Amino acid sequence: MLSTSIYPLSNPKGVKLECEICQKTAYIMCTQCRVTYYCGLAHQEADWNGIHEKICQLLIPVRTPAPFFSSAKEREHSEEQMVQRQKHLIDLTRTVAQKLLFEGKHEEAVPGALQSLRFAIAVYGSTSAELVPSQLLLAEASIGLGRLDEAEEYLSQAQWTVMKTTECVNAIEYKLYRNLGLLYLAKCDNQKALWYFADDIYHATEVFSTSDIRTAGGYFHMANVFYRLEKMDIADSLFSEVTNIWNAFLGELVETEIQKTLWKAGISSPESGTTFVELEDIFDEAQEAEAVQILHAVFDLRNQEYLPKHGKIGKIAHTLAMLYYLFLDFKKAVEYGKLALEDSELCLQNEKEIATITRLLEMAEKALSYPGGKGPSAYAWANSC
């Protein structure tokens, strides 16, 4: 809940309190954490909606002056704790900002991206490559808001850091080239956009692989350019590659979740040495939002008249069914599962693929039949199977 202390703030002598968003003189304070200030209600509301609600209490130990320590060991321990808190805030604010960008909420993404940049500077210094991901988030937000000059400024800063640092790796570079591609796409310079998306794919492949979901984003953006250029054969091929990558990735996660459910219910036993990893440790909120954005975009394009449909609608529908099964949205999982099964049977897909879709559909329908549509407990599974 948004909570504000309004005019005037009594600043300590010689101390100027600055607005969290614009760094102008602050006149109001968040009364929940009491360590965050704003020039007015508009910026407080923007910060609250973008990131502050999620980090309000986490800011207190970071922004509260450290007590006096009687030994160097205590002081070192306190400093280590501070760095760990700041690193956690960097990860959290970046994930939230990236998720909002995938959802198309560019304005709301700005506060989280700004926070991540400030904490990155505090932890790593002003010239480290660790700043680049935050600069890219701000660039992407600016592109989405149509502030292309601002985006170019952030991208120039990121590019300069990448060029001069020895610690920079491909894992940062591919994101830089992707954002440069998005910038030139916004400028309607399709050839430069394609050039940068090709660099994006190259560097992502160097770090991950050609079939990794992080590489798939480059294929997706490149496909959009070819679609815009009405080169449908190339666009179709790239959209198919994106679908295949996400289908394989989600397929493994779904199988793990199903096996975990059956194991907890006592219906099956995992193989010796098997360990189940929690879904959120593999698939974070930002990746979930990216999957929704990309897969729905491909599905919508497949339903238009310009791209091949038969057999391919089934593949993307199956991928969406798996995504929503993992989200525990079994109603949508059933909806897309039925579309996938219908198209696969119509196109005489191989029996293994049809069996996989049928099994997923049955699991989703069974889960949907339980109160609230959230799926049965392990006990219920044991008594119904």
Cβ-based burial of 59 (10 A; exposed 0-12, middle 13-18, buried ≥19): buried
Distance, CA of 105 to CA of 74 (rounded, Å): 43
Among 236, 241, 249, smallest CA distance to 288 is for: 249
The residues spanned by each domain of the chain are: 4-63, 77-207, 250-268+286-385
> What pLDDT, on a 0 to 100 scale, did the predictor assign at position 263?
75
**Average pLDDT over the chain, rounded to whole?**
88
- Percent of the chain whose pLDDT exceeds 70: 87
- The mean per-residue pLDDT over the stretch 304-325 comes to 91
CB neighbourhood size of 163 (10 A): 8
Per-residue pLDDT band for 378 (boundaries 50, 70, 90) equals very low
Distance, CA of 56 to CA of 47 (rounded, Å): 10
Single-letter amino acid code for the residue at 238: L
Kindly report, residue by residue over 44-61, the tens digit of the pLDDT: 999 999 999 999 999 999
DSSP assignment of 160-187 equals HHHHH-SS--HHHHHHHHHHHHHHHHHT
> What pLDDT, on a 0 to 100 scale, did the predictor assign at position 11?
54
- Percent of the chain whose pLDDT exceeds 90: 66
Exposure letters 287-302 (e unless 16+ CB within 10 A, then b): bbbbbbbbbebbbebb
Helix (H, G, I), strand (E, B) or coil at 313: helix
- Provide the residue count of the chain: 385
39 pLDDT above the threshold of 80: yes
Entry pTM: 0.85
> What pLDDT, on a 0 to 100 scale, did the predictor assign at position 326?
93
Kindly report, residue by residue over 201-210, the tens digit of the pLDDT: 999 999 999 9
> What pLDDT, on a 0 to 100 scale, did the predictor assign at position 382?
43
CA angle 12, 15, 17 (to 5 degrees): 100
- CA dist list (Å): 203 to 100, 148, 150, 184: 25, 24, 25, 19
- CA dist list (Å): 147 to 129, 141, 178, 185, 207: 24, 9, 17, 13, 31
From 100-114, 262-276, 288-302, the region with the lowest mean pLDDT: 262-276
> What pLDDT, on a 0 to 100 scale, did the predictor assign at position 70?
75
Kindly report, residue by residue over 332-356, the tens digit of the pLDDT: 999 999 999 998 888 766 788 899 9
Identify the CATH number of the domain defined by range 77-207: 1.25.40.10
> What pLDDT, on a 0 to 100 scale, did the predictor assign at position 74?
81
Single-letter amino acid code for the residue at 249: F
> What pLDDT, on a 0 to 100 scale, did the predictor assign at position 265?
65
> What pLDDT, on a 0 to 100 scale, did the predictor assign at position 276?
62
> What pLDDT, on a 0 to 100 scale, did the predictor assign at position 76?
87
379 pLDDT above the threshold of 90: no
CB neighbourhood size of 352 (10 A): 8
Per-residue pLDDT band for 143 (boundaries 50, 70, 90) equals very high
15 pLDDT above the threshold of 70: no
Distance, CA of 124 to CA of 103 (rounded, Å): 29
> What pLDDT, on a 0 to 100 scale, did the predictor assign at position 385?
47
235 pLDDT above the threshold of 90: yes
